[in-house]
Amino acid sequence: MNAPAAASFGGFVAAAAAAGQLVVQPRMGFGQPHRMRGGLERTRFAAATTVGTLTIDSYTRVGDLAAARAALTEGAALNGYPIATHSTATTRALLDGVHDASFPVQVRHGSSRPETIIRALAAAGLDATEGGPVSYCLPYGRTPLAESVDNWARGCELLARLVPAPRVPHLETFGGCMLGQLCPPGLLVAISLLEGMFFAEHGIREISLSYAQQTSPAQDIEAVRALRRLAAEFLPPGVDWHVVLYTYMGVYPLTEAGAHRLLRASARLAVRAGAQRLIVKTAAESRRIPTVGENVTALETAAAAALAEQPLDEGSPDPDSEVYTQARAFVEAVLGTGKETGAALRTAFARGYLDVPYCLHPDNAGRSRSFIDGAGRLRWSRVGAMPITADPVPPGTSAALTADGLLRALYAVAGRFDRADPELPDRPDGPD
């Protein structure tokens, strides 16, 4: 059920959007080539418009290729595909007859040192990956931000150089998914856009901008629309882009019914807000790594929900929503340093203009804090040196979130979707 063949990853997504189809994509990675191929085949032939995922193992993400090779030699299970350890011939054989213009495959990893992965994927005939100098640095380790920025500058330029025409290198920023939850959307939108600008400065002409579903459907719609508006305003001419939405990345519902409700809500959100691609999660997320079959079920569930939804009216420009206003303030503060985007990002974090709540990385100021208000919206209780103002904290609530309060916030979405009566039909914006 895939869209017409296209010359690039982004072109495929654009063709699907023109046909009124939301592209859905799993998170999927296996160490053994035959299992990885089987997962891609099942994804390709799902009853949905799909792209494939080749998720990289954790050893390769941190550059420990010796450990990846030892695991393969010993027959140990890996949590992803070791693309830099398997030979190029092995990966090409895995992809042969599965990956083509009508079924693009994206390499997903999580590395602040992406060059080895980029060399391996390009050698195998692939051209789409994801990450970013901030988003694949701050949440995942202690690599200095300056080092990650330099690594990603080289990685972008390497991808642009190694992917031959007529193929088009594609990079997706992970910036809209920082820590997955409890980060108010204005900051997510800003980091996503800034990483996209960074990619463009380093030679990438086809980009996707990410945003992760959060705690309020109304606020999420504002966020996706703000990201689209800011991309049109700030990305340079000649850069093709689309928005990719992630199904909620925080604590997932414990019940299968709750998980499916949340997945369907994310698919409806994507369509209504104008995202063109959705990264799904499965009903097994709260318990274990999902099977291929569970991933296919998630893809088909999301696709069916998307077909039943309609986009919001695009006839007139959005007013300056709260999310747009905050995101633009962040972007202008970063660009106001007068430096190219990579250096500006380093400066912005050093000065606290960008400050991710609850992120313990040494290069993050750590002075910002957030809370969920009575309507379910994420708001700022402390802003540190960021160029925005804090929101009023409800009476009787401390601006410093307690351990109990943090746990309640982390489990808020899961609990809300688990509590909904499974006999009731889904509401357009999910359960109350």
Please give the residue that has the higher pLDDT: either 305 or 416. Answer: 305
pTM of the model: 0.93
Cα dihedral value 99, 245, 130, 189, nearest 10: 160
pLDDT > 80? residue 421: no
CB 330 within 8 A of CB 386: yes
What pLDDT, on a 0 to 100 scale, did the predictor assign at position 102? Answer: 95
Distance of CA 13 to the CA centre of its chain: 15
In whole angstroms, give the CA distance from residue 322 to residue 226: 9
At residue 429, does pLDDT exceed 70?
no
d(CA 14, CA 244): 12
* Average of per-residue pLDDT across 315-344: 89
pLDDT tops 80 at residue 30: yes
For residue 261, give the nearest of 372, 423, 373, 407 by alpha carbon: 423
Q: What is the pLDDT of residues 207-254, one digit of tens each?
A: 999 999 999 999 999 999 999 999 999 999 999 999 999 999 887 888
Identify the band that residue 402 occupies on the pLDDT scale cut at 50, 70 and 90: low
Query: Which amino acid would we find at residue 413?
Result: V
Q: What is the pLDDT of residues 104-159, one digit of tens each?
A: 999 999 899 999 999 999 999 999 999 999 999 987 778 999 999 999 999 999 99
State how far the alpha carbon of 65 is from the alpha carbons of 11, 27, 88, 121, 122, in Å: 33, 22, 15, 15, 18
Mean pLDDT, the chain, as a whole number?
90
Pairwise pLDDT comparison (197 vs 257), residue with the higher score: 197
Q: Is the pLDDT of residue 430 over 50?
A: no
Q: Which contacts qualify for 65-72: CB closer than 8 Å, 24 or more apart?
A: 65/116, 71/31, 72/31
Task: Considering the domain delimited by 1-432, tell me its CATH architecture.
Answer: Alpha-Beta Barrel (3.20)
pLDDT for the residue numbered 181: 76
* Domain regions of the chain by residue span: 1-432
Exposed/middle/buried for residue 240 (C-beta within 10 Å: 0-12, 13-18, 19+): middle
Half-sphere exposure of 56 (CA within 13 A, CB side): 30
Q: Give the Cα separation of 126 and 138 in Å (integer).
A: 27
